[in-house]
Amino acid sequence: MSRLYTRLNGPVRKLALALATLGLLSPTRARAEVDPAAAIGILQERCASCHGEPRMSGLDLRSLQGLLEGGSRGPSIVPGDARASGLYQAVCCDGELRMPLQGNPLSAAELGVIESWIDAGAKWPAGAASIRSEPWWSFQPVVRPAVPQHGVAWARSPIDRFIARGWEESGLAGVREADRRTWIRRATYDLHGLPPTPQEVEAFLTDESPAAFEAAVERLLESKRYGERWGRYWLDVVRYADSGGFETDIYFPDAWRYRDYVIGSFNDDKPFDRFILEQVAADEIWPDDLELRGSYEIPPEKRRNLEARIGTGMYTVGTVYHEAALNGHQLRYEWLVDAVDITGEAFLGLTVGCARCHDHKFDPLTQQEYHGLMAFFEGTEIRRIPVVHKMSELGHYSAYPRQLKVFEYQRALKDLESSARKRMTDRIAGRFPDDVVTAFRIPKAERTVQQQMQAAILERALTEAGLLENPGGYAAELPYTPEERSRRETLIRELGEAAAGARFALPTATVLGRAEVRYAVRMTDRGDWRPTGESVSPAFPSALGGTATAASADRRTALATWLADPSNPLPARVMANRTWQGHFGRGLVGTPNNFGRQGELPAHAELLDWLAAEFVESGWSVKHLHRLIMLSSVYRLSSRFDAANAAADPDNRMIWRMNRRRLDAESVRDAVLAVAGTLNLKAGGPPARPPLSPEERLGMWNQDHWPESLDPAEHRRRSVYVFAKRQFPYPMFKTFDAPDPAASCGRRAVTTVAPQALTLLNSDFVVEASRSLARRLESIDQPERKVDRAWKLAFARPASQTERAAGAAMLAEAGPEEFARMIFNLNEFVYID
Amino acid sequence: MQSKHAASLPSRRQFLENAGLGFGGLAASLLLERDSMGAPASNPLAPKPAPLPAQAKSVIFLFMHGGPSHLDTFDPKPLLQQHHGQPVPESFRTLDFQFTKMDRVPLLGSPRTFRRRGESGLEVSDLFSHVGRHADDLAVIRSCHHDGFTHITGQNWMNTGWAQVGRPSLGSWVVYGLGSESEDLPAYVVMLDGGIKSGSPAYGSGFLPAMYQGTLLRSEGPPILNIRRPAGTDAAGQRRLLDRLQAFNRRHLEARGEDSELAARMNAYELAFRMQASAPEVVDLSQETAATQALYGLDSDVTRPFGKQCLLARRMVERGVRFVQLYSGCATNGPSPGWDGHNQIDQNHETMAAQVDRPIAGLLEDLKARGLLGETLVVWGGDFGRTPFTDGGESGARNNAGRDHNPYGFTVWMAGGGVRGGQVVGATDEIGLNAVEDRVHVHDLHATMLTLLGLDHVKLSYPFQGRDFRLTDVGGSNNLARRLTSG
């Protein structure tokens, strides 16, 4: 049933729901023959996946006893009186409670069966099979489907056979294929987030071998640019940022190691199951240290274990509640919540967060089960560990005296400041009566109310003079004597010299480790952090076939192993779907982080399962999925509009054409730099901080929180390496729909608004890139050839005759910089066919 | 409305013909449609009719950054005065504060003088003697509350209806629900005099599409980010660039057939171009008379910065901007107290109120004189209120004459937008710590504001993470709209 149902077209379902809401499909409730087996069948089909195992709202409809006991709303049936039965009222959708929550309402015939059955006393035949809970589609095991026999002539890949069947069933005809230029531009942006160079385009066009497409895909997959593109998608999913958010927005000094780990994992085509194990529990599965062998060099296998452990950084880069928390326990609780939520969304494609406070309303997850998931993370702590050999770590402290020297200069400066401040304070105090000064000198905790008022008079004067110390701040200007002033300058110079020779930071990584103390996870009241209820053991959600696990020491290992087990149907489906989305702009399931009941049903359930099966059987190779998809015929389709197809499938869910896609925020910036010829391809390392204009800085709370990178080459690095500050996202990215890292983002919104136009028309960034592109075109002699070159760089195609003429005219009238600026603003620049 | 730039149309067409690029039916109709109809056909921010009868069309939200004291402004507490300096009574000691432990600090009476003002006799302290002249326009809600006792959580609550980051801001919801009346200005404008502690999430669109986010507008220099044309490019030059750009875009579009996204992007460029002309116009205060400028306090160094913001706010709602938020008391560089009176609340609030009192009074008077007050809802508030006892000193306060943050009971007032003035809603307890009578949660405040704008706060929702999110979450049942507007 569910499989059939998933093929129902979205619009049809919507229409049915709409009509039902309007009362147009309101059942006539025809009297039906009393048929207990049919009634029980309906309960099985329509109700038991939520009200069985698990028991949502405490209700289990799989037996008469369960019906009579009911759930949190009381008994669900009154035998002999359907209209007084809660169950019947709910499925009639007459009142506040409307069931089932998802999918079509019950038909008139079905309602009739239920009504007559209850009215006749709700007999449960002794021989009736007990009801099985039919799991939700995404919870059912992945079964590799047979490849359909459709589209044989057109298909290059099994994928195409599924697509062809979809077209046939929906009365669609695929559009023609795109030309090879369009394909290579599409493929390059898909895998690299960058435009192909004119040479790459030329090489592909002139490669007449039958394996030209394979070769192109291989070349793209082998480049390090691939991980930078696909790593970024994963960073969206795991809500990556370099700081913790809120007012203090604490800086994560080594979060970039996790970012580089993600990029490296994609480049290495790390098996995805291994990727899961590492991020959830590498410290438990591959425990290691860095010090036992060798002298200063770390042996390769130890290095690998360390690399794996950096994967646990996934759980260290979320929002940190810091100053908003009352105490460490609340901080820890909020961290646990974040850990469970991100695990659910990233690996299972389930939004479990609702169950923090109450049983999930739509998905089969109770609050108890949510806390069971939390318990896997209890006993874990975030730890900053050195990533150098123990010998090097100790060596670091041999250089500590140089740091001490820096501290000495800082202290001397502070003393100088205090003495100037004191002198000035005394001078001002001298103007006030003795009792005021006396009151001021008394420690404030010991002052009487009278003395408080007196002291306040002097304090006010001192504040006005800028003499009351600002916590955390230094006085900008104090009335130094000439001797003090000169000594201060000397000290500052010597401080700088000392700092230049000192070594401050020991290289570290932030990872998970075992906590010294493991607290019990307790049920809480509606999501409040204060533990109030019974303690909960680690357990997997029952709807996913989970059971309680032995409370072993390695709890996260148990969770990771369960997640990465091929029999868990969700992770492979979810990742196959994310991969599909990266190539078509939309997944087979349009809600990549929600495979639950509030999510979208798959347009191609069997294709998704086929991909998931291939994925697992290939050893969880994401690159294998890329090859399968990119070498298919459907991936070659043109993005051309077709009115007849659009009438039948306006959302292109059956993929009768390629979706035209706008570049995402990072690709817009990277493409501008690449076409300008100034992109710095340096990979990895601490985040780059490009300059901000004063207008951009407006609204940043701590102005010193964005120290601009001094090396201008850093300003032109790929966007994935730009500082990701939670409280102040890089303005250009935000303008082009980069997600808020407050939560996991499975799919970005795409908006089209005027500030994007203003950014590309007027920003310093684009003006400078225009200058660079103009310089790049300088050496070309004829204007028409300049235009042609620009077109090839930006659009991977030569300019047409008309375009050359119009472009050359513009070059003559407006100059090369304005011409270059126009290029970056064209629709063709930011849209991929 | 007729496009202000219709005059440039012939030259554009001229260019297209001269350049030999031509333009066929579809693109041309797009172009002409926009020029004759005003609003672009596929503008996602096109105005939408309010689903319910609306009192207000736009909002000006005056945000006192740091948290203004209700006890020293709009909520007098005689009993607190009497018990000044005494310990906090046992029965009150049940709450958490960011810095203060209630058993260690004395009560702090207000040093201000309250007076009954207007025909209604509404009590307003001498900090707001100018605003007090408009007492009969104010509905003072004294029983507001939430539970965020830090600036971030307080600002998040007030702006996004949730303590944590990630939810869309009030202004974003309003624009999502109603669209924009202005074709050439952003629908949702935020003016700051420095950084705000909660950062851009306070005016961000959260999980709503980015087009609903607030746009920062500066009163000095280029008003909007990237609005200034590159050096050496004048308006005519930019127009020429745009004409060429659009001609190429039209060819690109025609070659591809139907694509509303491509067409929408072309429209966005036209809007951007119009913004480049209208944004400098809206911030050009020289168009205002000396009397108007003086009304807003532009004649004094103390009141000029906030006065400018208030005057700009009026100019924007006049031009159809839906939601304007003004901040007073942000930092320009490093930590500055703003309204955050941990130390010497008296001096702090005297300084801060002096900056905003005349401008806010001027705004109310000007809106009224121009007949705009009826359709403009003016709201005054901040992160939270302040405690009736002294700050514990753990915040770095140097003496015991300051107040800590108090989210459990505080004041917000509303004026205009159909709200009947001269009334008081709710009450805090005897010392002004907790909202006790007719409690108004932030969700209720938001529900009230949305209702005044003709939006149903229960139906205004957006699907995210598997459920339909609302600004008012599951709250908002104490919707004051009907009571505020009746009588």
- Asked if A821 lies within 8 A of B241 by C-beta distance, the reply is yes
What number is the average pLDDT over the span B68-85? 95
Do residues B413 and B368 make contact, with C-beta atoms less than 8 angstroms apart?
A: no
| Closest Cα in chain A to B276 | A758
Most A-contacting residue of B399, B458, B467 (CB-CB within 10 A), to test interface: B399
- Asked if B245 lies within 8 A of A826 by C-beta distance, the reply is yes
Angstrom distance (rounded) from CA A694 to CA B216 = 12
The dihedral built from the CA positions of residue B182, B183, B186 and B188, taken in this order, carries a sign that is positive
- Asked if B334 lies within 8 A of A456 by C-beta distance, the reply is no
For residue B41, give the 3-state DSSP assignment: coil
DSSP secondary structure letters along A746-758: SS------HHHHH
For residue B434, give the 3-state DSSP assignment: coil
Of these ranges, A223-227, A369-373, A548-552, the one predicted with the greatest mean pLDDT is A223-227
Do residues A570 and A350 make contact, with C-beta atoms less than 8 angstroms apart?
A: yes
Instruction: Give percent of chain B with pLDDT exceeding 70.
Output: 87
The nearest CA of chain B is from the CA of A387 a distance in Å of 33
- What does the pLDDT read at residue A787? 98
Q: What are the helix (H) ranges across B105-255?
A: 129-132, 151-160, 170-178, 235-254
- What does the pLDDT read at residue A419? 87
| Closest Cα in chain B to A758 | B226
* Closest C-alpha to B349, from B100, B125, B99, B69: B69
User: Using 50, 70 and 90 to split pLDDT, how confident is the model at A777?
Assistant: very high
* Closest C-alpha to B67, from B277, B285, B345: B345
Most A-contacting residue of B21, B86, B244 (CB-CB within 10 A), to test interface: B244
Q: Which has the minimum average pLDDT: A100-104, A309-313, A501-505?
A: A100-104
Round the CA-based radius of gyration of chain A to a whole number and report it.
33
- Asked if B210 lies within 8 A of A751 by C-beta distance, the reply is yes
The nearest CA of chain B is from the CA of A797 a distance in Å of 13
Angstrom distance (rounded) from CA A242 to CA A352 = 25
- Asked if B269 lies within 8 A of A825 by C-beta distance, the reply is yes
Q: In this structure, how many other beta carbons lie within 10 angstroms of the beta carbon of residue A150?
A: 17
**B179-to-B141, B174, B265, B312 alpha-carbon distances in Å:** 28, 8, 18, 21
State how far Cα B324 lies from the chain centre: 4
The answer for residues whose C-beta is within 8 angstroms of residue A202's C-beta and 6 or more apart is none
Q: Is the pLDDT of residue A716 over 60?
A: yes
Per the DSSP assignment, residues forming a β-bridge with B124 are B115
* Closest C-alpha to B57, from B281, B374, B310: B374
Q: β-strands B410-416, B423-425: how paired?
A: unpaired
Q: What is the mean pLDDT of chain A?
A: 88
The nearest CA of chain A is from the CA of B136 a distance in Å of 35
The dihedral built from the CA positions of residue A333, A334, A338 and A339, taken in this order, carries a sign that is negative
Q: What DSSP character marks residue A177?
A: B
Most B-contacting residue of A21, A237, A246, A449 (CB-CB within 10 A), to test interface: A246
- What does the pLDDT read at residue A9? 42
CA angle A228, A716, A762 (to 5 degrees): 115
Q: What are the helix (H) ranges across A23-85?
A: 36-46, 64-69
Chain B residues in contact with A767 by the CB 8 A cut-off are 230-231
Q: In this structure, how many other beta carbons lie within 10 angstroms of the beta carbon of residue A206?
A: 8
Chain A (751-770) residues lying within 8 Å, Cβ to Cβ, of chain B: 751-759, 761-763, 767
Chain A residues in contact with B272 by the CB 8 A cut-off are 754-755, 757-758, 761
Q: In this structure, how many other beta carbons lie within 10 angstroms of the beta carbon of residue A744?
A: 24
- Both structure tokens of B413: 């007032």
The answer for residues whose C-beta is within 8 angstroms of residue B151's C-beta and 6 or more apart is A247, B66, B67, B197, B198, B340, B383, B405
* Closest C-alpha to B360, from B320, B291, B306: B306
- Asked if B466 lies within 8 A of A751 by C-beta distance, the reply is no
Q: Which has the minimum average pLDDT: A546-555, A647-656, B299-308?
A: A546-555
Instruction: Give percent of chain A with pLDDT exceeding 90.
Output: 55
Q: Is the pLDDT of residue A305 over 90?
A: yes
- Asked if A319 lies within 8 A of B164 by C-beta distance, the reply is yes
Chain A residues in contact with B211 by the CB 8 A cut-off are 751-753
Q: Which has the minimum average pLDDT: A207-221, A539-553, B154-168, B283-297?
A: A539-553
- Both structure tokens of A705: 């929180």
User: Using 50, 70 and 90 to split pLDDT, how confident is the model at A473?
Assistant: very low
Element (H, E) at A206: helix A198-206
Tens-place pLDDT, residues A387-442: 988 888 888 888 888 999 999 999 999 898 888 888 888 888 899 999 889 988 88
Angstrom distance (rounded) from CA B205 to CA B191 = 16
Angstrom distance (rounded) from CA A601 to CA A589 = 6
Q: What DSSP character marks residue A539?
A: B
What number is the average pLDDT over the span B280-295? 95
- Both structure tokens of A383: 């730890």
Phi, psi for residue A522 in degrees, rounded to 5:
-120, 155
Cα-Cα-Cα-Cα torsion A100, A102, A108, A110, nearest 10 degrees, comes to -60
- Both structure tokens of B289: 């008379």
- Both structure tokens of A19: 């009509």
Q: Is the pLDDT of residue A782 over 60?
A: yes
Chain A (543-582) residues lying within 8 Å, Cβ to Cβ, of chain B: none
- Asked if A827 lies within 8 A of B19 by C-beta distance, the reply is no
- What does the pLDDT read at residue B406? 96
Q: Which has the minimum average pLDDT: A308-322, A363-377, A522-536?
A: A522-536
- Both structure tokens of B451: 């209702």
- Asked if B216 lies within 8 A of A698 by C-beta distance, the reply is yes
For residue A831, give the 3-state DSSP assignment: strand
Q: What DSSP character marks residue B215?
A: E
CA angle A352, A356, A360 (to 5 degrees): 55
Instruction: Give percent of chain A with pLDDT exceeding 70.
Output: 91
Please check whether residue A644 touches B, CB under 8 A.
no
CA angle A130, A131, A132 (to 5 degrees): 120
Please check whether residue A833 touches B, CB under 8 A.
yes
Q: Chains A, B: CB contacts under 8 A, how many?
A: 261
- Asked if A821 lies within 8 A of B272 by C-beta distance, the reply is no
- Both structure tokens of A553: 């020491």
* Closest C-alpha to A828, from A233, A189, A219: A189
Most A-contacting residue of B226, B233, B468 (CB-CB within 10 A), to test interface: B226
Of these ranges, A90-94, A437-441, A552-556, B421-425, the one predicted with the greatest mean pLDDT is B421-425
- What does the pLDDT read at residue B30? 34
Of these ranges, A395-409, A504-518, B440-454, the one predicted with the greatest mean pLDDT is B440-454
The answer for residues whose C-beta is within 8 angstroms of residue A386's C-beta and 6 or more apart is A290, A392, A393, A506, A507, A508
The answer for residues whose C-beta is within 8 angstroms of residue A334's C-beta and 6 or more apart is A321, A325, A529
Round the CA-based radius of gyration of chain B to a whole number and report it.
24
Do residues B101 and B327 make contact, with C-beta atoms less than 8 angstroms apart?
A: no
* Closest C-alpha to A701, from A323, A303, A334, A418: A323
For residue A251, give the 3-state DSSP assignment: strand
- What does the pLDDT read at residue B5? 34
Q: What is the largest CA-CA distance in chain B?
A: 86
Judging by beta carbons within 10 Å of its beta carbon (0-12, 13-18, 19+), is residue A739 exposed, middle or buried? Answer: buried
For residue A349, give the 3-state DSSP assignment: coil
Do residues A614 and A625 make contact, with C-beta atoms less than 8 angstroms apart?
A: yes
User: Using 50, 70 and 90 to split pLDDT, how confident is the model at B393?
Assistant: low
CA angle B378, B384, B388 (to 5 degrees): 120
- What does the pLDDT read at residue A318? 94
Please check whether residue A474 touches B, CB under 8 A.
no
Tens-place pLDDT, residues A114-160: 899 899 888 887 765 555 656 789 999 999 999 999 999 999 999 99
Angstrom distance (rounded) from CA A332 to CA A320 = 10
User: Using 50, 70 and 90 to split pLDDT, how confident is the model at B21?
Assistant: very low
Tens-place pLDDT, residues A641-655: 999 999 999 889 999
Q: Is the pLDDT of residue A699 over 60?
A: yes
Q: Which has the minimum average pLDDT: B99-103, B140-144, B187-191?
A: B99-103
Phi, psi for residue A281 in degrees, rounded to 5:
-150, 30
Angstrom distance (rounded) from CA A69 to CA A58 = 10
The answer for residues whose C-beta is within 8 angstroms of residue B335's C-beta and 6 or more apart is A470, A471, A472, A473
Of A742, A751, A762, the CB nearest to B226: A762
- Taken as a whole, chain B contains a residue count of 487
- Both structure tokens of A108: 């008139």
Per the DSSP assignment, residues forming a β-bridge with B463 are B468
- Asked if B195 lies within 8 A of A731 by C-beta distance, the reply is no
The answer for residues whose C-beta is within 8 angstroms of residue B167's C-beta and 6 or more apart is B156, B160, B161, B206, B207, B469, B471
Tens-place pLDDT, residues A580-602: 999 999 999 999 999 987 788 89
Do residues A821 and A767 make contact, with C-beta atoms less than 8 angstroms apart?
A: yes
Tens-place pLDDT, residues A206-248: 999 999 999 999 999 999 999 999 999 999 999 999 999 887 8
Chain A residues in contact with B336 by the CB 8 A cut-off are none
- Both structure tokens of B210: 């980015």
What number is the average pLDDT over the span B67-94? 92
**A57-to-A363, A736, B103 alpha-carbon distances in Å:** 11, 42, 43
DSSP strands (E only) in A398-557 = 508-514, 521-524, 531-536
Angstrom distance (rounded) from CA A145 to CA A210 = 29
Q: Is the pLDDT of residue B339 over 90?
A: yes
Q: Which residue has the higher pLDDT, B58 or A111?
A: B58
For residue B248, give the 3-state DSSP assignment: helix
